[in-house]
Each structure stands twice: as structure tokens, then as C-alpha cells.
Chain A
Amino acid sequence: MRYLRFVAVTVILLLALFPLALYAETSHDGHGGGAAPSSHASAPATGQNMNDPSGSGHDRHGPAAVSEKSSAGEHQSAGRGGESGPNVLQPVKNGIVTGFTIFNGLIIIAAIIMKKKLGQGV
């Protein structure tokens, strides 16, 4: 089962990519985004959640205002295109999307090569 090697490598890469991608996304040191995961516990009522610059306190790790609906009031909308503050994460986002695109492209290329070498499975 030679093709299992391809699959195994892909799965390992996938598993490695999962925590790495999430780490890259959640650890904002140097990216200026917000709180790192370890600081969730100490983010009680201020809405210091990553990617929540509005400070609305809607953070399940530290519910700021239970029964918020009664005091939630108007829902502030930023309109289109991420206008809620300077989007300093843009390079990280581009990196993630590019990384995934290349990775997925490589998977498809590997699958095409395998098909050419081994023929169609069923």
C-alpha cells in the first residue's frame, strides 16, 4: 500500500499545522492583536478576548455581563471590510491563506502523481 505513505505524511503535516496555525493566530506578541490564550483566565470582565477590540465583554472565559441581552443595547456595526480598528493582522491572515493554498495545491499534485503512477483506484 504505497499510497498510504503519502496519506500518512499528509495527515502528520495536517496535525502539525493545526496547533501551529492556531498558535500563530492566537499568540499576538509582535502582531499587536490582543490577549494570548494564557491570559484568558485573567480577562474577567473587560472583553479582552483576542480579536475583540470592541471590549464588549462577550467572552465565555470571563462572562462580563450575564443577562447581557437586557443591557446589550444597540449592536454596533462596523460595516464592510473590517473597519473595527487597524487591521494589523492582515499579513498574518495573508500568510495563513497562502500557506493553506500552497499546502492544498501540493496535496492535489501528490494525488495526481499517484494516480499517474498507480492508476485510478476504483
Chain B
Amino acid sequence: MKGNLLDIRSLKAFVKSSLFPAIIQWPTAFVFAVVVYQLLYGPMSAHENFGTAMTWVLWWPIIPLIFLLMGRFWCAICPFATLSDIVQKWVRNKRTVPVFLKKYGIWIIDAMFILITWADHVFGIVESPLGSGVLLMIIITGVIVSGAFFERRTWCRYLCFLGGLSGNYSRSGLLELRAKSENCKKCKDKYCYKGKDNVAGCPMFEMPGVMDSSAKCNLCGNCVKTCPNDSVVLTARIPSKELWYVRKPKIEESFLAIIIMGIVFVQNITMLELWEDAQKIIEGLTGTSSYTVTFTITFIIAMAVPVLAFYATSWLAGVSNREKAISNLTIFGYALIPLDLAGHLAHNLFHLLAEGKTVLHTGIALLVPGYKGGSPGFFPEATIQIMQFALIVLGLAASLFTAYKISKNWFGEAGKSTASLVPYAVLLILLAAFNIYLFTLPMSMRM
């Protein structure tokens, strides 16, 4: 097939070898062990803790970029997944996944993501190495439950709090793994799903032959190893292209896309100077100085605003295309994903480029006692700001084009595509403008 990256012999040989993805997976697991140890027993100041720097200044900011460039490949090498595999191999319980998880897993993922974001602010997890350590321990416990009881990577597919985010972002990603369906239809073995010899079947419960989304595939390469017909195809694609043709849109995926916009707003707003003034206003209105109350109110408002705005836009679009508001919201919610990703990347870019050297300094301090470190930033703030604006503009362009394609695919035949598109285009421009405005304001650092 044209553009199949697996036609590159060396790449195919590497993916087929037992070194893939182990050669990346095991060093990642080792670093993770150091990170957990540092968070729990290292310096108490986030400034000086290698675990905090690795987690919140390197990993967290860079993860959306990995999803964009490599889809969910992180999930293939994620230390939690490695732990789940180890526990599963050891216990060999492998129960089938409960129906409620299959049915409501994505809602649980959405709720977990919101809960962790809320808990981070209320308990100050990011600024507290021990808090971050406890969070990882809780996730480890969840992973052990999943690995000890259930088959494959149940945690990654149905429960990981990053699953919804990674799924949505990977759909905007550059890489696409599929299979030649004409071969798969004839295939009786289905080794890609069942596994063969020492290679497990798809850990994410997918069958490449019928897969039409990159939301779940973690590019672990198992299907490449097991397919007897060499049917698996890995191609590079235009970012966001998958979102143009979502045949079965799901409310939970669109809802998460809209919620993430609110979460990025919260992350930005709470790092701004005006956050203190906003807190005082809310404290005045509620008559309490409890940060939990103040933040919870802000959090709810920040998430509700994009949801309500999107719902109102969907209602407006429904006036012309005759769809229910909730149906329009489900269909067009995917158009927000590129802007989400751009906003998220732009926010994280500040942490990565203004604080990124902290990772280096804390890492050296681990090995060289008495090391004093240096400036944490790679670039001046003005340079970072320009990059942030550029990202938002790119994200807006991708979102607008996605909305255009969606409206054309769903309402083109009825001649309602332009009328459906206009309200969403206006909303997307407003959301991008608000993002840009937030990035013009000075931010404080994470650590």
C-alpha cells in the first residue's frame, strides 16, 4: 500500500522483533521507579525534586505532543501498563471485562480526569512531591486491581484517566495503523486479536481489520508481529483528518472535548495574576475563604461555560439543519479537538520551555551532591508567547477545517452545510481569541 511505513524494511524488522517496544518500555519503567522513589522519599520542595520535575515539567507537558506525533504509543510503553502486564502474567486470573465497564468506561474516564484535575488544585498535588507520589500510588493500586483480575490492558482501555484525552488527541495525530480489510475478511485465524506463540493479542481489545479510529490503538506492534498475511499498514496522515469522517460520533467523546477546553481555561486562569482578584470576588460572594469552595466554583463555571456555549451554538445550528441540539453537539464536538490540543500544548509549552531545565538541574543534583543548578528556562517569555499564539492559530485553522468537513459530510446533501458551520466557526474563533488573550497575560511557573 502507498505510504505504508512498514514497507521500510528496517522499521518493519524492528517492530516485528522482540525488542519492540521492550527496548523503550523497560528504561521507561526504570525511570518511573526512580520518579516514584524521589516523589516519596526525595526533597520535599517541588523545586528540588527530580520526580516532580520529571512528572510535571517534562512528562505532563510533553504528553499531548506525543499523542499528536505518535498517537497512543506512550500507552504501549507506559510504566503502568508494564506493571499491569507483570501482575497479569504472574496471577493469570484474566476475567472478562464487566459489561458496565464496557458500557460506561469512557464516562468513568471522563469523571476521573475531571476529579484528578480538581484534586490537583484543591490538594496542591503538583506542588507537592508527596502528593504526586500518593497520586501515583493510587493509580498503581488501580492498575494492580485491573492486572490482577482482568484480561489484557483493561485499565488502559476502560479506566485510565488519560484514556479519553489520549484517544481524542490521537485521532488528531499523525500516525494511523489499520489493516488491509480485504485480507482480514478472508482471515480465519485472527491472531491479531487472539495472539500467537509468545506474542499476546491486541492488548487494547481491537481488531485492526475493522478498526476505523486511532483512539484505542497504542501502536504496540503485536498485530504486526502476529499477522500471517502482513496486512497491517502504518501510514502518516494529515493531523486531524480522522475527525473529518467520524461515522459514529459519541456524546461522551464530544463532551470530553468540550470539557477539556474548560480545563485548559482553569489551568491558565489559576496561574494568572488576576486569579487572586477573582478569588477575592468569589470569597466575597460566598462569605467563605475556603480555597476548596472558591476553586470548585471556578472549576464548575470554567467547565460549564464551554459546555453551555457549545450547546447554545448547537441549538442555533439546529434551527437551520433541523437536528436536535444534543445531536449537533455530539457531531460537531469533534471539531473542538484540534483547538483543545493546541490550547493544551500552548499551555504546556510554557512549563516545558520556561521551566524545562529544572529536569536537568534536579537530575544532576541526584548524582552530584552540592550542585547548585541554574536558570530553569530555555527561552525568554516573549519567544514562548509567540509560539503559543502560533499554536492557537494552527489549532483554530484545523478546528475550522474539521467543522467545515463535518458540516459538509453530514449536511452537505441537504444544502445546510454553510448554515450549520457558521455558528460553530464563530464559537471556535471566540474560544481561540479567549485562549490568545489568556496567553498575553503573565503566568506563574509550575514549580
- Asked if B44 and A75 make an inter-chain contact with CB atoms under 8 angstroms apart, the answer reads no
Interface residues of A in 73-122 (CB under 8 A from B): 73-85, 87, 89, 92-93, 96-97, 100, 103-104, 107-108, 110-112, 114-115, 120-122
Interface residues of B in 51-70 (CB under 8 A from A): none
The listed residue (B43, B123, B271) touching A82 by CB distance below 8 A is B43
Q: Within 8 Å of chain A (Cβ to Cβ): is B10?
A: no
Given known A-B contacts A41-B291, A63-B276, A69-B381, A78 and B444 have beta carbons under 8 A apart: no
Interface residues of B in 227-270 (CB under 8 A from A): 270
- Asked if A77 and B365 make an inter-chain contact with CB atoms under 8 angstroms apart, the answer reads yes
Contacts of B124 in A (CB 8 A): 26, 37, 40, 49-50, 59, 61
Q: Within 8 Å of chain A (Cβ to Cβ): is B166?
A: no
Chain B residue nearest in CB terms to A56: B47
Given known A-B contacts A58-B127, A60-B446, A84 and B122 have beta carbons under 8 A apart: no
The interface-forming segment of B130-138, B308-316, B340-348 is B130-138
Report how many residues on chain B are interfacial, defined by Cβ distance under 8 Å: 82
Contacts of B149 in A (CB 8 A): 3, 6-7, 111, 114
- Asked if B276 and A22 make an inter-chain contact with CB atoms under 8 angstroms apart, the answer reads no
Given known A-B contacts A79-B370, A111-B91, A38 and B271 have beta carbons under 8 A apart: no
Q: Within 8 Å of chain A (Cβ to Cβ): is B333?
A: no
Q: Nearest Cβ in chain B — how far from A32, in angstroms? A: 12
- Asked if B372 and A58 make an inter-chain contact with CB atoms under 8 angstroms apart, the answer reads no
Q: Nearest Cβ in chain A — how far from B315, in angstroms? A: 35
Q: Within 8 Å of chain A (Cβ to Cβ): is B388?
A: no
- Asked if B377 and A69 make an inter-chain contact with CB atoms under 8 angstroms apart, the answer reads yes
Q: Nearest Cβ in chain A — how far from B22, in angstroms? A: 23
Contacts of B374 in A (CB 8 A): 74-75
Given known A-B contacts A7-B149, A69-B376, A75 and B361 have beta carbons under 8 A apart: yes
A21 to B137, CA, bound (A): 10
A22 to B122, CA, bound (A): 10
- Asked if A97 and B40 make an inter-chain contact with CB atoms under 8 angstroms apart, the answer reads yes
- Asked if A50 and B371 make an inter-chain contact with CB atoms under 8 angstroms apart, the answer reads no
Q: Nearest Cβ in chain A — how far from B383, in angstroms? A: 11
Q: Within 8 Å of chain A (Cβ to Cβ): is B121?
A: yes
Given known A-B contacts A79-B370, A111-B149, A96 and B270 have beta carbons under 8 A apart: no
Q: Nearest Cβ in chain A — how far from B361, in angstroms? A: 5
A111 to B41, CA, bound (A): 30
Q: What are the interface flags for B414-447 relative to A under an 8 Å C-beta threshold, 1 for contact and 0 otherwise? A: 0000000000000000000000000000111111
Q: Within 8 Å of chain A (Cβ to Cβ): is B7?
A: no
Given known A-B contacts A41-B290, A77-B373, A104-B140, A51 and B46 have beta carbons under 8 A apart: yes
Q: Within 8 Å of chain A (Cβ to Cβ): is B141?
A: yes
The listed residue (A6, A22, A69) touching B445 by CB distance below 8 A is A69
Chain A residue nearest in CB terms to B366: A80
Contacts of A6 in B (CB 8 A): 149
Q: Nearest Cβ in chain A — how far from B147, in angstroms? A: 9
User: Using a Cβ cutoff of 8 Å, how many contacts connect chains A and B?
Assistant: 246
A74 to B50, CA, bound (A): 17
A64 to B370, CA, bound (A): 27
Known: A51-B44, A78-B45. 18 other contacts (CB 8 A): A7-B98, A37-B124, A39-B291, A40-B291, A51-B127, A52-B44, A60-B121, A61-B295, A63-B275, A64-B444, A75-B358, A79-B365, A79-B368, A81-B42, A93-B41, A93-B133, A121-B95, A122-B94
Q: Nearest Cβ in chain A — how far from B292, in angstroms? A: 6
Contacts of B96 in A (CB 8 A): 121-122
A69 to B41, CA, bound (A): 28
Q: What are the interface flags for A1-19 relative to B under an 8 Å C-beta threshold, 1 for contact and 0 otherwise? A: 1011011001100100110
Given known A-B contacts A22-B123, A51-B127, A63 and B446 have beta carbons under 8 A apart: no
The listed residue (A14, A37, A97) touching B141 by CB distance below 8 A is A14
- Asked if A41 and B283 make an inter-chain contact with CB atoms under 8 angstroms apart, the answer reads yes
- Asked if A107 and B141 make an inter-chain contact with CB atoms under 8 angstroms apart, the answer reads yes
Contacts of A49 in B (CB 8 A): 124, 127-128
Q: Within 8 Å of chain A (Cβ to Cβ): is B145?
A: yes
A59 to B123, CA, bound (A): 12
Q: Within 8 Å of chain A (Cβ to Cβ): is B214?
A: no
Pick from B90, B129, B141 the residue with the most CB of A within 10 Å: B141
- Asked if B44 and A3 make an inter-chain contact with CB atoms under 8 angstroms apart, the answer reads no
Q: Nearest Cβ in chain B — how far from A98, in angstroms? A: 11
Chain B residue nearest in CB terms to A103: B141
Chain B residue nearest in CB terms to A105: B144
